[in-house]
């Protein structure tokens, strides 16, 4: 029996991977193709949980009778090396001839793999070129490897697709559609599990925030994240993205003021004097930059919500309004007049809740002899008009 191996991080597996697997089966007469997501590869840091990558590979394989996914590398502890994988496979399946499917860029560094001479005795190879690749040079490289190590290296007649896992992850992070790039079940899995929203999974974000915030601020942050996630469906907002915005809304809160000032001056052009002079406001634009540059958040709605969560703005998308309210009403807030009403309103109407929160905030600022931020007044005017112009009102 001849079985192909399509390995790598598969982060996520996409239509291009499937096309390559099917082409390899057709051209080389392979009986099956194994999808083999790596566990902890030696040359690449993978932040996506290996269990998620395995689950997606299994979902993709279920559509094809001659394709299956293996957890061999995922379940192995420590760094996973191909030579160990092939050794284990050759022992378990002595009658199988394995063919490892690699990209043209991998072919160029193939003999740098750990114990490659041994690998070459355990499997053949087939490579697929990226669009625009010089196939003559690829053929020379394939022939050189074959001559040196005695393994067979075929080249698929088709070129690999333009799509890449890196581009898919970036598109997801930016809130763009990827349904045309991945199998439908993978698209659903990514959305249902909130994958690829930024550079880190939630567990790592939480650990970093513990080191960045005071204990009180961290508890508040978790309360905002929980509240935003719970209220998100009624607001038409993705709960996973709402939770991320809540987690990071105060990420710059404990930074020294001079660092925040330098950061926002270097990155933003629409600042006003009150933002630069008021710490209670300054952490919002600074937090937007930290979320973008330190945590890899690219979704504009998340970044906007972090920026606007203190004083609001005349233009508020649903995510902006949600985080503004969640910050105001989260369960850990000390009780003050109007808080319970704000919480009740949030359960029924997020816009009315935001308007009421802004009115309370304005009243509080005035009671301290301060002038409310003009963006807060613009937000209240916008919300009043929006509520008044609803059908039936």
In the predicted model, is pLDDT for residue 176 greater than 70? yes
Residue 79: band (very low, low, confident or very high) from pLDDT cuts 50, 70, 90: confident
- At residue 155, the 3 state secondary structure works out as strand
Q: For 199-388, which CATH superfamily applies?
A: Hypothetical protein af1432 (1.10.3210.10)
Which CATH code for domain 2-192?
Answer: 3.40.50.620
Q: What is the pLDDT of residue 148?
A: 94
Closest CA to 55 of 44, 41, 43, 71: 71
Residues 264, 282: contact at Cβ < 8 Å?
A: yes
Return all residues near 58 (Cβ < 8 A) that are at least 6 apart: 35, 69
- Cα separation, 47 vs 201, in Å, equals 7
Q: Where are the domains of the chain?
A: 2-192, 199-388
In the predicted model, is pLDDT for residue 307 greater than 60? yes
Structure tokens at 387: 């509520």
Q: Which of 228-232, 300-304, 363-367 shows the lowest per-residue confidence on average (mean pLDDT)?
A: 363-367
Q: What is the pLDDT of residue 277?
A: 78
Q: What is the pLDDT of residue 47?
A: 84
């Amino acid at each position: 029996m001849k079985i192909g191996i399509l390995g790598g991080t598969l982060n996520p597996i996409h239509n291009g991977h499937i096309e390559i697997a099917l082409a390899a089966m057709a051209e080389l007469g392979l009986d099956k193709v194994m999808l083999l997501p790596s566990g902890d590869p030696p040359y690449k840091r993978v932040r996506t949980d290996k269990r998620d990558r395995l689950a997606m590979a299994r979902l993709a394989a279920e559509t094809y009778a001659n394709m299956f996914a293996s957890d061999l590398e995922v379940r192995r502890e420590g760094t996973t090396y191909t030579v160990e994988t092939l050794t284990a496979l050759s022992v378990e399946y002595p009658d199988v001839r394995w063919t490892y499917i690699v990209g043209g860029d991998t072919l160029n560094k193939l003999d740098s793999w750990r114990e490659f001479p041994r690998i070459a005795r355990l499997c053949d190879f087939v490579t697929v070129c990226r669009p625009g690749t010089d196939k003559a040079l690829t053929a020379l490289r394939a022939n050189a490897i074959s001559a040196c190590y005695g393994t067979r290296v075929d080249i698929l007649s088709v070129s690999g697709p333009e799509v890449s896992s890196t581009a898919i992850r970036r598109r997801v992070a930016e809130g763009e559609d990827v349904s045309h790039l991945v199998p439908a079940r993978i698209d659903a899995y990514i959305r249902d599990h909130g994958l690829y929203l930024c550079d880190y999974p939630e567990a790592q974000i939480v650990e970093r925030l513990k080191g960045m915030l005071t204990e009180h601020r961290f508890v508040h942050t978790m309360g905002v994240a929980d509240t935003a996630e719970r209220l998100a469906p009624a607001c038409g907002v993705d709960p996973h993205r709402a939770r991320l915005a809540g987690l990071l809304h105060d990420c710059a809160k404990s930074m020294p003021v001079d660092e925040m000032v330098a950061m926002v001056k270097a990155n933003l052009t629409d600042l006003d004097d009150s933002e630069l002079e008021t710490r209670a406001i300054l952490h919002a634009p600074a937090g937007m930059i930290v979320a973008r540059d330190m945590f890899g958040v690219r979704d504009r709605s998340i970044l906007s919500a972090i920026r606007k969560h203190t004083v609001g703005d005349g233009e508020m998308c649903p995510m902006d309004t949600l985080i503004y309210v969640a910050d105001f009403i989260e369960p850990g807030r000390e009780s003050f007049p109007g808080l319970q009403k704000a919480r009740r309103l949030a359960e029924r109407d997020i816009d009315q809740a935001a308007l009421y929160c802004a009115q309370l905030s304005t009243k509080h600022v005035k009671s301290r002899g301060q002038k409310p931020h003009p963006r807060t007044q613009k937000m209240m005017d916008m919300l009043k008009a929006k509520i008044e112009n609803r059908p039936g009102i």
